[in-house]
Amino acid sequence: MNHTGFWSHPLVETAGYFSVVTLCLIVSMVLFEIVTKYKNWEEIRKGNLSVAMATGGKIFGVANIFRYSIEQHNSLPQMMGWGLFGFVLLVFAYLLFEFLTPKFKVDEEIQADNRSVGFISLCISVGLSFVIGASIS
């Protein structure tokens, strides 16, 4: 029996990528929850649009990085490795954003529903995901 044909079928590959990226997305959201000073999902439940924008930007950013990783790599382990490396860079960018704004604390402003800061956070996550993704080799 030829198992290579089954595993290389586009439907099986798509289901595999979907499953792995969904799991990585869940892990990345847990890690972002640890990095931020507020509870993302609790704030979203309360209607905090700034947290929703910042979190949505992170989700888009991580998914976009994995999109590039899927396009550039032929094996699941390579795709995961590069995608996770891209995620680490995205976390670094978030911490850098906090460091480069000494006049206010990004986490506090987002938790206080400062929509300008939430929107800029979304744009940074999305924008840098394109740069990180394009650099994945």
What burial letters (b/e) apply to 68-87, b meaning 16+ CB within 10 Å?
A: bbbeebeeeeebbebbbebb
Q: Round to whole Å and give the CA distance between 37 and 47.
A: 17
Under a CB-based contact definition with an 8 Å cutoff, are residues 108 and 54 in contact?
A: no
Residue ranges of the chain whose pLDDT lies below 50: 1-2
Write out pLDDT tens, residues 98-117. 888 888 899 999 999 999 99
Closest C-alpha to 109, from 38, 61, 39, 9:
38
Q: What is the pTM of this model?
A: 0.85
pLDDT of residue 87: 87
Tokens of 113: 């529903």
Residue boundaries of the structural domains of the chain: 3-135
